[in-house]
């Protein structure tokens, strides 16, 4: 009897049943099934990039009051395929003097660093690649692989502009890694588990975005800067004079950097949904666990929409402003948020759920208000200093 | 294969093999007409001047240093964050103190001017 509500579990059990009938023992069947999932999930991750790029281009276009691709296929749906065919058939030029092996390795690592994150994301209650009990640490470790890839790309291209671009991009990425991992600590604090399955299960009653909105905001901002996405994409935007670290890349290698960046952005959206928006939880998942995958994809797409929205709305930030913003605002914010939330959560661990979450929310609001007051007074004193320097006539306004 | 890390290993191997396969396919499909002009390094359309490996600015090193300090701090904090619920309240305060000491370190770096770009 097929229970379609528990689709993934049923599918898994059926496949394992097939393998056992072919003569394997139960543990071997389970092992082969896990290996099969591990082999197919990267393919799924890479295929997600196809509708994703179309979606992003359409959304950005609509936010900018224009149509977006609409010539190739109905509603421009085949645009991504056309672009892929173009990129596949372009000539692969390696500049003279470039380090050939590293030059070819860098885009592969950039994609592998993103696809590797999909192994631990729980899509439903029993649909995931691996249930690592150190999932969050794994995320941090594999996520840094794409940063390494950028350094390799810039170094191996035998081009001083690529190298400079790579230095600056890596400086930006490692700087924003600090508030990112600080904000990753918060779901661990609130759920008491380093594994993503545990974090999602702990959000059954209250999502962490309501318990710790400041941490969610920190994750939102720093994950975008980590992916070098607008408004933090000074170093590789199309309108910049040289395209940054990937200037010497052509054809599929460039395509991988491009796809890797989009996919990384969407993966950060999925992670934000898993860590802060409750992942696969939602009404009806106990009866129909497969519904969890639908919820996760919807929530991930919602967070991704916020990223696209930010890209279409804000102007680009200069690198010194970016790094100031990181080290002087985001990192101290994260460093003060963690002890505050830990003390509140531990102090009230005996109390009811609603009291604890209300206190956590209050702590967040308090810290946010403090930051705004500090920024406001500094801003006002800077304005008054500038006004008095301009002369008494200007300050009489 | 009950070991989760074996599955992760297979995952990463496939994650590397798939792009390599795509690159090989692209190399087979694409034209191959190397010429000296095409293989020259790009410098906004003019001839390149000087070596390609420019001097490393010291400011990048400072950012990397600050990154390493805080990253190692967070790595130490992951076990604390996992287990502070089962430890007495004093352990939470200790962890908070650890973070605040490092926050003072950040303030020191800030006031020393090491966080200014260029």
A127, β-bridge pairs = A124
Q: Is residue A35 part of a domain?
A: no
Q: How sure is the predictor about A320, in pLDDT bands with cuts at 50, 70 and 90?
A: confident
- Which of B25, B54, B74 is closest, CB to CB, to A160? B54
Question: Cβ of B115 and A324 within 8 Å?
Answer: yes
Residue of B nearest to A181 (CA): B74
The region of weakest confidence among A153-162, A250-259, A318-327 is: A153-162
Tokens of A33: 């099934």
Q: Chain A closest CA to B22's CA: distance in Å?
A: 8
Q: Is residue A373 part of a domain?
A: yes
Whether residue B1 has pLDDT greater than 60: no
Q: Is residue A260 part of a domain?
A: yes
CB-based contacts of A12, cutoff 8 Å, min separation 6? A33, A126
Q: Is residue A3 part of a domain?
A: no
Cα–Cα distances in angstroms (integers) from residue A334 to residues A146, A176, B96, in the given order: 23, 11, 12
Whether residue A277 has pLDDT greater than 60: yes
The number of distinct structural domains making up chain A is: 1
Please answer whether residues A153 and A106 qualify as being in contact, where contact means their C-beta atoms are separated by less than 8 angstroms. yes
Q: Is residue A8 part of a domain?
A: no
Cα–Cα distances in angstroms (integers) from residue A105 to residues A277, A345, B95, in the given order: 35, 45, 40
- How large a percentage of chain B has pLDDT more than 90? 50
| pLDDT, average across residues A77-99 | 83
Coil, helix or strand for A124?
A: strand
ipTM: 0.88
* pLDDT tens for each residue of B68-106: 999 999 999 999 999 998 999 999 999 999 999 999 999
Whether residue B34 has pLDDT greater than 80: no
Please answer whether residues A68 and A62 qualify as being in contact, where contact means their C-beta atoms are separated by less than 8 angstroms. yes
- Which of A27, A108, A252 is closest, CB to CB, to B2? A27
Distance CA B84, CA A153 (A): 41
* pLDDT for the residue numbered A239: 43
Question: Cβ of B11 and A41 within 8 Å?
Answer: yes
Q: Chain A closest CA to B21's CA: distance in Å?
A: 10
CB-based contacts of A10, cutoff 8 Å, min separation 6? A2, A3, A4
Scanning B45-104 for CB atoms below 8 A from A yields 50-54, 56-57, 60, 63-64, 66-67, 70-71, 74-75, 77-78, 81-82, 84-86, 89, 92-93, 95-96, 99-100, 102-103
Domain containing A84: what range? 48-389
Distance CA A182, CA A332 (A): 10
Question: Cβ of B99 and A339 within 8 Å?
Answer: yes
Candidates B34, B74, B101, B108, partner chain A, best to mutate (most A CBs within 10 A)? B74
- Which of B14, B36, B38 is closest, CB to CB, to A42? B14
Whether residue A7 has pLDDT greater than 70: yes
Distance CA A208, CA A190 (A): 8
B12-45 burial, b if ≥16 CB within 10 A, otherwise e? bebbbebbeebbeebeeebeeeeeeeeeebbbee
| pLDDT, average across residues B10-36 | 86
**According to the per-residue pLDDT averaged within each range, which of A28-32, A35-39, A369-373 is highest?**
A369-373
- Which of B15, B25, B40 is closest, CB to CB, to A95? B40
| pLDDT, average across residues A344-370 | 90
Stronger pLDDT, A210 or B48, i.e. the higher one: A210
B1 shares contact with chain A (CB less than 8 Å): yes
Candidates A338, A343, A348, partner chain B, best to mutate (most B CBs within 10 A)? A338
* pLDDT for the residue numbered A333: 94
Q: Is A212 left (phi over 0), alpha (psi -120 to 50) or beta?
A: beta
**According to the per-residue pLDDT averaged within each range, which of A68-77, B30-39, B65-74 is highest?**
B65-74
Q: Any idea which residue has 């009897």 for tokens?
A: A1
The region of weakest confidence among A10-14, A192-196, A328-332 is: A10-14
Stronger pLDDT, A368 or B54, i.e. the higher one: A368
Whether residue A255 has pLDDT greater than 70: yes
* pLDDT for the residue numbered A1: 43
Residues of B in contact with A38 (CB under 8 A): 7-8, 10-11, 14
Residue of A nearest to B44 (CA): A242
Question: Cβ of A328 and B115 within 8 Å?
Answer: yes
Helix axes A145-156, A135-143, angle to 10 degrees: 10
Q: Any idea which residue has 């600090």 for tokens?
A: A178
Count of CB atoms situated within 10 Å of the CB of A218: 22
| pLDDT, average across residues A302-330 | 90
Stronger pLDDT, A311 or B36, i.e. the higher one: A311
- Helical H runs in chain B? 4-29, 58-83, 89-111
- CA-based nearest residue to A240, from A141, A147, A165, A334: A165
Mean pLDDT score across all residues of chain B: 85
Q: How sure is the predictor about A393, in pLDDT bands with cuts at 50, 70 and 90?
A: low
> Using omega within 30 degrees of 0 as the cis cutoff, is the peptide bond preceding B17 cis?
no
Q: How sure is the predictor about A230, in pLDDT bands with cuts at 50, 70 and 90?
A: low
- Helical H runs in chain A? 7-21, 26-63, 79-88, 100-115, 135-143, 145-156, 160-191, 196-201, 208-211, 213-226, 251-275, 291-313, 319-324, 331-347, 353-389, 392-395
Q: How many CB pairs under 8 A join A and B?
A: 232
Mean pLDDT score across all residues of chain A: 86
Q: Is residue A18 part of a domain?
A: no
Question: Cβ of A174 and B64 within 8 Å?
Answer: yes
Q: Is residue A62 part of a domain?
A: yes
* pLDDT for the residue numbered A241: 47
Distance CA B18, CA B13 (A): 9
Whether residue A185 has pLDDT greater than 80: yes
- Predicted TM-score of the model (pTM): 0.90
Residues of A in contact with B43 (CB under 8 A): 159-161
Q: Is residue A14 part of a domain?
A: no
Q: How sure is the predictor about A306, in pLDDT bands with cuts at 50, 70 and 90?
A: very high
* pLDDT tens for each residue of A105-132: 999 999 999 999 999 999 988 888 888 8
Whether residue A43 has pLDDT greater than 50: yes
Stronger pLDDT, A37 or A92, i.e. the higher one: A37
Residues of B in contact with A343 (CB under 8 A): 92-93, 96
Please answer whether residues A44 and A23 qualify as being in contact, where contact means their C-beta atoms are separated by less than 8 angstroms. no
* pLDDT for the residue numbered A86: 87
Question: Cβ of B106 and A46 within 8 Å?
Answer: no
């Amino acid at each position: 009897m097929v229970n379609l509500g528990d689709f993934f579990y049923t599918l898994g059990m059926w496949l394992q049943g097939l393998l056992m009938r072919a003569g394997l023992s139960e543990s071997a069947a389970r092992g082969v099934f896990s290996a099969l999932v591990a082999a197919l999930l990267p393919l799924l991750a890479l295929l997600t990039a196809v509708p994703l790029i179309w979606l992003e281009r359409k959304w950005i276009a609509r936010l900018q009051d224009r149509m977006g691709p609409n010539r190739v296929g109905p509603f421009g749906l085949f645009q991504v395929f056309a672009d892929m065919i173009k990129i596949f058939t372009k000539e692969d030029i390696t500049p003279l003097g470039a380090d050939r092996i590293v030059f070819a390795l860098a885009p592969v690592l950039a994609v592998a660093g993103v696809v590797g994150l999909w192994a631990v994301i729980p899509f439903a209650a029993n649909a995931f690649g691996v249930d690592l009990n150190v999932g969050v640490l794994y995320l941090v470790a594999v996520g840094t692989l794409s940063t390494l890839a950028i350094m390799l790309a810039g170094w191996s291209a035998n081009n001083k502009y690529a190298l400079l671009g790579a230095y600056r991009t890596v400086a930006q990425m490692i700087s924003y890694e600090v508030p990112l991992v600080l904000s990753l600590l918060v779901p661990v604090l609130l759920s008491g588990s380093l594994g993503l399955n545990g974090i999602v299960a702990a959000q059954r009653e209250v999502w962490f975005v309501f318990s710790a909105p400041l941490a969610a905001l920190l994750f939102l901002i720093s994950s975008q800067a980590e992916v070098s996405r607008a408004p933090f994409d000074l170093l590789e935007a199309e309108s910049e004079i040289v395209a940054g670290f990937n200037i010497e890349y052509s054809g599929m290698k460039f395509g991988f950097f491009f796809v890797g960046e989009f996919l990384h952005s969407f993966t950060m959206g999925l992670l934000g949904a898993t860590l802060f928006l409750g992942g696969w939880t939602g009404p009806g998942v106990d009866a129909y666990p497969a519904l969890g995958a639908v919820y996760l994809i919807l929530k991930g797409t919602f967070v991704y929409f916020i990223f696209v929205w930010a890209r279409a709305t804000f102007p680009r930030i200069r690198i010194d402003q970016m790094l100031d913003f990181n080290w002087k605002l985001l990192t101290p914010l994260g460093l003060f948020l963690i002890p505050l939330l830990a003390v509140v959560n531990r102090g009230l661990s005996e109390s009811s759920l609603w009291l604890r979450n209300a206190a956590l929310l209050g702590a967040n609001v308090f810290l946010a208000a403090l930051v705004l007051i500090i920024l406001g007074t500094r801003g006002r004193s800077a304005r008054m200093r500038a006004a008095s320097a301009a002369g008494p006539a200007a300050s009489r306004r | 294969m009950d070991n989760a890390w074996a599955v992760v290993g297979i995952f990463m191997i496939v994650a590397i093999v798939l792009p390599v396969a795509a690159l090989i396919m692209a190399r087979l499909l694409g034209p191959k007409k190397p010429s000296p002009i095409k293989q020259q390094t790009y410098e906004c359309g003019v001839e390149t001047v000087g070596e390609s490996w420019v001097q490393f600015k010291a400011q990048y090193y400072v950012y990397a240093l600050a990154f390493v300090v805080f990253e190692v701090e967070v790595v130490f904090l992951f076990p604390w964050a996992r287990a502070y619920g089962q430890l007495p309240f004093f352990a939470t305060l200790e962890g908070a103190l650890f973070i605040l000491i490092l926050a003072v370190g950040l303030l020191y770096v800030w006031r020393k001017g090491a966080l200014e770009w260029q």
